[in-house]
């Protein structure tokens, strides 16, 4: 089953959300920043952060000139702070190796820190209008339903997923807009929990025509958060973000007081990820931040 490009793009022309990174004049770097922030993160959480971020650091070289500590603080509680670290590393690489210009080639992009198959294609398509398949969870869900008649996408398979979407793409001039529309449809109409089929612009849908067969129950237990190493890492990072100067181990201990083994494991993993560093006096700080404070200054 195919998806008529005119139906989908026509719907998108009237229903497209007014997201700031889609505005005219937004640069490839600013689009790249939005894609990093949107990895596994709802639009509503990115909206308050992205405008300030791209105003403060409008280019790769401006971002590269900041410290990792500044970047991690600006990232705040967006989640997955390794993304912020990789965005910083990505900026450094583009400033150094690509003359401050975001590459437009999928394979080149994918070599950069923090850029995988989705983000590389999103930048190529949305920043450079390249006719490459852009496959995120929204697209996989829409294709699973409209094309394959299944309630949910199966396990990701890059080659198969790209081939599925490549077969749907219209002419090169409209491919990028078609991809954006496909993502938008999955994000606002053909959603995971409560698809709004009454508002769907697709004339035909294999899932609907098959009587909405249910999906299979997930095999893995639902992701939990409370009590995990992830939560412990988050608490430790909270302390470091909130302190302008390095903090002692005792100050970190307070942030995760019960399970000392877990706390040590979390701290070790943060150090290994380069999200925290230990300075010579034994205290801890965000990477690259000012080591001076009132007691250390002479």
Q: How far is the CB of 216 from DNA (least distance, A)?
A: 11
Q: How far is the CB of 183 from DNA (least distance, A)?
A: 5
Q: How far is the CB of 97 from DNA (least distance, A)?
A: 15
Q: How far is the CB of 244 from DNA (least distance, A)?
A: 18
C-alpha–C-alpha distance, residues 296 and 290, integer Å:
11
Within 13 Å and on the Cβ side, how many CA atoms surround 178? 21
Q: Closest CB to DNA among 74 and 137?
A: 137
Q: Closest CB to DNA among 213 and 293?
A: 213
Residue 278, strand partner residues? 284
Q: How far is the CB of 12 from DNA (least distance, A)?
A: 12
Q: How far is the CB of 148 from DNA (least distance, A)?
A: 17
C-alpha–C-alpha distance, residues 150 and 252, integer Å:
48
Tell me the longest C-alpha to C-alpha distance in the chain: 76
Nearest to 21 by CA among 29, 10, 30, 12: 30
Q: Closest CB to DNA among 148 and 291?
A: 148
C-alpha–C-alpha distance, residues 119 and 135, integer Å:
9
Q: Which residues bind DNA (CB under 7 A)?
A: 19, 21-22, 34-35, 38-45, 77-82, 86, 110, 113-120, 122, 136-138, 141, 155, 157, 183-184, 186-187, 191-194, 218, 220-225, 228-231, 233-235, 237-238, 269
Q: Closest CB to DNA among 80 and 292?
A: 80
Q: Is 244 among the residues known to form the active site?
A: no
Active centre residues (catalytic): 35
């Amino acid at each position: 089953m195919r998806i008529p490009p005119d139906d989908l793009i026509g719907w998108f022309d009237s229903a497209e959300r007014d997201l700031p990174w889609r505005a005219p004049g937004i640069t490839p770097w600013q689009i790249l920043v939005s894609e990093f922030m949107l990895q596994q993160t709802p639009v509503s959480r990115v909206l308050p952060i992205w405008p300030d971020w791209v105003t403060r650091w409008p280019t790769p070289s401006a971002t590269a000139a900041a410290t990792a500590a500044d970047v991690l603080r600006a990232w705040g509680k967006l989640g997955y702070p390794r993304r912020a670290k990789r965005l910083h590393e990505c900026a450094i690489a583009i400033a150094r190796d690509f003359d401050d210009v975001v590459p437009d080639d999928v394979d080149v992009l994918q070599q950069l820190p923090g850029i995988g198959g989705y983000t590389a294609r999103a930048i190529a398509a949305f920043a450079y209008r390249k006719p490459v398949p852009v496959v995120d969870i929204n697209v996989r869900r829409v294709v699973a339903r409209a094309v394959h008649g299944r309630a949910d996408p199966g396990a990701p398979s890059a080659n198969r997923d790209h081939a599925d979407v490549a077969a749907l793409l219209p002419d090169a001039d409209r491919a990028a807009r078609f991809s954006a529309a496909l993502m938008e449809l999955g994000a606002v109409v053909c959603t995971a929990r409560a698809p709004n089929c009454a508002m769907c612009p697709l004339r035909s849908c294999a899932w609907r025509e098959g009587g909405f067969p249910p999906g299979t129950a997930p095999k893995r237990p639902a992701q939990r958060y409370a009590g995990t190493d992830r939560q412990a890492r988050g608490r430790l990072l909270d302390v470091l973000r909130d302190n302008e100067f390095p903090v002692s181990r005792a100050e970190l201990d307070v942030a995760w007081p019960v399970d000392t083994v877990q706390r040590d494991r979390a701290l070790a993993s943060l150090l290994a990820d380069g999200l925290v560093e230990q300075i010579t006096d034994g205290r801890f700080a965000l990477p690259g931040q000012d080591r001076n404070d009132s007691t250390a200054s002479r």
